[in-house]
Amino acid sequence: MRVGEIVTAGVLALLSIYFMYKASANGIGYAVGTGPQGGFWPFWLACGMLASTGVIAFNWVRRASAASRSDEPVLDSHGIKTMVFVGGGIIGFVALIDIVSMYGAVAIFLLYYLKLLGRHSWRLTLPMVFLFPLVLFFFFEGLMQITMPTGLSFTDPVYNVLYDIIY
């Protein structure tokens, strides 16, 4: 665990620095009258992430956290199995986006995660599978006016109905 903690903190610190660098290309200041520049929020979120990794590294040196005092492996066999199932689900989610749309992929992922991995009841799973993608649709497409991938043409009838509701 000890090595895993500092390696993870180091990787996250490097990612934070990279994100800060990329965000600074869009300006990180606040312009009076117009608001924050394009990189303002990403830069300062990455800065907070970098500060957090610094705290993790400081606690690692002091051996203040349980993980920094442990010589156990980062993942045991159950942890590896869980990582494979969750990681496989995420890879499946991304693969399905262009086929069944972003919202369809979210519904399938929720079904997989809640019912198969989480072993939750159908009473919880079905409302989440149907309602959460709908809420996301109306938030992104209606409120934010950000179009997400709609998948192959067989999803068009569903989108036609939903777009009729918005417009």
pLDDT of residue 1: 84
- How far is residue 123 from each of residues 105, 107, 128, measured CA to CA in Å? 20, 15, 9
3-state helix vs strand vs coil in the chain, percent to 5? 75, 0, 20
The predicted model gives 134-149 an average pLDDT of 93
Q: 39-73 pLDDT, tens per residue?
A: 999 999 999 999 999 999 999 999 998 888 888 88
Torsion of CA 82, 87, 90, 94, to 10 degrees: -160
Q: Which residues are CB-contacts of 151 (< 8 A; sequence separation ≥ 6)?
A: 97, 98, 99, 100, 101, 102, 104
Q: 77-100 and 102-111 are packed helices; what angle lies between their axes, rounded to 10 degrees?
A: 150
pLDDT of residue 32: 85
Q: Percent of the chain having pLDDT more than 70?
A: 100
**Which residues are registered as beta bridge partners of 36?**
30
In the chain, domain spans: 2-69, 77-166
Q: Taking all residues of the chain, what is their mean pLDDT, rounded to a whole number?
A: 94
CB 1 within 8 Å of CB 71:
yes
Q: Which residue carries 């705290």 as its tokens?
A: 55
At residue 30 the predicted structure's pLDDT band, cuts being 50, 70 and 90, is: confident
